[in-house]
Amino acid sequence: MTMVQVSLPIARDAPPLADDEALRRAVAQAAGLDFADLGAVRVERRSLDARAGRRPQWILRCSYGTRQDALPADELPPLLRPRRLARPATGLRPIIVGSGPAGLFAALQYADFGIQCVLLERGAEVETRNLRARDLRVHGLLDAETNLCFGEGGAGTYSDGKLYTRGKSERVREVYERLCALGIDRSILVDAHPHVGTNRLIPMMPRLRHALREAGHELRFGARVVDLLVRQETDRPHVHGVVLEGGEVIEGGPVLLAAGHSARDVYRMLARCGVAMKRKDFAIGARIEHPQALIDEAQLGALAGWPSVGAAEYFVACQVPTVRGVRGAFSFCMCPGGLVLPTPTHLEHLNVNGMSNEGRNSGIANAALVLQVPADEAYLDRPGDLDDDPDFGAHVAGGALLGVALQAALERRAYTVGGGGYRAPAQRLSDALAGRESVDLPRTTYRPGLHRAAATTVLPDRLWQPLAQAAVAIDRRQLRGYASHEATLIPVETTTSSPVRVLRDPDRQSTSHSGLYPCAEGAGYAGGIVSSAIDGMRCALASLAARGLCDADEVER
């Protein structure tokens, strides 16, 4: 396939398509062809270059053919890609804990090899999840087992559906292709920063569920894992199954643990079983809403509001001093034209996150502003009133769950300051920076609603003061209007990533327990839909390679 890169001015109404004459002429010129000799053109990658001081333009990487040599057909592989095992997989019954991206793509990988597995999800199918999500957002009623984090598809189902990842693995394309096979628009194969949107992810889930069951997998919902089946072997303990709430025992293996970063009871269960874990760096902060028009104007200038460009994104970051040295502060999970959601999984706890639908058309942008919390100070110098959570105390697992305890303590405080009913405490950002109360609040997307309160009553000074310095610096140097009176500060954002790493060897098995494969975000090894999906696929392949059923070299491909 012959490729060229071209640039084109931005038109107002739509991005350039393969049959646009301007694009075809640019491709012919870049290829050194007479326009009459150019055959089919296909856009392979498209990005927007609107950097300050430059003429805004589309950057496009295109493949092309001549009138004599046509392009190969642009056909995508099917969802399942059957493989031939090196030898029969006798006695293999994989158990996958969690139906987020890691668990689902691990199940797809097993299906490729014709291996049937058991997939266990503590929450409900997506149809019931939607009802429980509505109960929380409309009526302030939380189901601790089926919510915006737990249930079919995991937390990623209710997100912006961001698919961008810095990883360069060829499996990135494979994830995109499988999503397209499930009905997601093929534009994700082209856009430099692809996203799907919650409204497209939700109807995709039943199609994937059906495909996995057709492949012979057993999918169990409302199946919360409360213990591991462990037997002592010569070198170390071996995991050969799980126990569900209610006492049901499921034997098999390997056990792929893909429970996500919000399943805090799983960390405690692992600690009880002696599974090796340690603290890792994470981040804490608050979500900030802005009018989307403000972000568009700051980021796009004259292009603001153009349909071809859509709602603008931003990423900001800076270094700020703290009592324990310089730390990074940065935006996280920016959702153009999105919504702020309540994402607690424990009763009378509150943390928030963001999502967008495909159209990104709410009129309000949101992103978290968070501060790095290094592993060695998750609980150091904490205010005296942030007591250990009774479920995640400092004594557990040699201190591995200290970061989890901090998350839980802040979420309890946010719920209390919000006044109950999962209303979120909120303040105009300009008022928070000036140390004054807000007399009113801007329009918000957050439901069940906001309660005016000072941010410092939720975030302790050691977190709030560096974040305040960061907001001022960002407004001055990176994004004008960021700290304006139109911005709303909504604490607390605690689940940017797991504060725990479940240790694993190069073969992806737990360092302490054979047969256990810790996966993706909850185990501290990935972040986001695509990287989690890839980690799940690799864990599945590693479990096959350990039994000589595929080449070890294939795992890291």
Burial of 174 per CB tally in 10 Å (0-12, 13-18, 19+) = buried
> Both tokens of residue 330?
């940065």
- Give the end of a domain, one of 46, 66, 86: 66
Look at residues 323, 309, 408 and name the one whose alpha carbon lies nearest to residue 47. Answer: 309
pTM beyond 0.85: the answer is yes
- 500: preceding bond cis by omega (within 30 degrees): no
- 321: preceding bond cis by omega (within 30 degrees): no
What local confidence, expressed as pLDDT, does residue 456 receive? Answer: 79
- Tell whether 111 and 188 lie within a shared domain: yes
Distance, CA of 314 to CA of 328 (rounded, Å): 17
- Tell whether 457 and 413 lie within a shared domain: yes
Instruction: Look over the chain and give the mean of its residue pLDDT values, rounded to a whole number.
Output: 92
Task: Examine residue 90 and state whether it is found in any structural domain, yes or no.
Answer: no
> Both tokens of residue 29?
């010129």
- Tell whether 289 and 436 lie within a shared domain: yes
In sequence order, what DSSP letters do the residues of 108-124 get, joined into one string? HHHHHTT---EEEESS-
26-40, 244-258, 377-391, 407-421: least confidently modelled range: 377-391
pLDDT digits (tens, 9 = 90+) for 68-97: 888 888 889 999 999 888 788 888 999 999
- Tell whether 142 and 266 lie within a shared domain: yes
Could you tell me which residue, 403 or 53, shows the higher pLDDT?
403
Q: Is the pLDDT of residue 386 over 60?
A: no
Mean pLDDT score, 322-342: 94
Mean pLDDT score, 263-267: 95
- Tell whether 364 and 441 lie within a shared domain: yes
- Tell whether 286 and 268 lie within a shared domain: no
Question: Which DSSP category does 75 fall into?
Answer: P
- Tell whether 485 and 523 lie within a shared domain: no
The CATH number of residue 48's host domain is: 3.30.70
Could you tell me which residue, 111 or 400, shows the higher pLDDT?
111
Distance, CA of 121 to CA of 223 (rounded, Å): 5
What local confidence, expressed as pLDDT, does residue 51 receive? Answer: 73
- Tell whether 416 and 512 lie within a shared domain: no
CB burial of 345-381 (b: ≥16 within 10 Å; e: otherwise) equals bbeebbbbbbbbbbebebebbbbbbbbbbbbebbbee
The CATH number of residue 152's host domain is: 3.50.50.60
Reported confidence tier of residue 379, pLDDT bands at 50, 70, 90? low
Task: Examine residue 550 and state whether it is found in any structural domain, yes or no.
Answer: yes
> What percent of the chain shows pLDDT beyond 70?
96
What local confidence, expressed as pLDDT, does residue 422 receive? Answer: 98
| Direct distance between the N- and C-terminal alpha carbons of the chain, in angstroms, rounded to an integer | 22
Q: Is the pLDDT of residue 388 over 60?
A: no
> Both tokens of residue 466?
């560096």
Q: Is the pLDDT of residue 393 over 60?
A: no
What local confidence, expressed as pLDDT, does residue 168 receive? Answer: 78
pLDDT digits (tens, 9 = 90+) for 478-507: 999 999 999 999 999 999 999 999 999 999
> What percent of the chain shows pLDDT beyond 90?
79
In sequence order, what DSSP letters do the residues of 304-346 get, joined into one string? TT-TTT-S-----EEEEEETTEEEEEEEEEEETT-EEEE---S
Asked if 272 and 338 count as a contact pair (C-beta separation under 8 A), the reply is: no
Range of the domain at 35: 2-66
SS3 238: strand
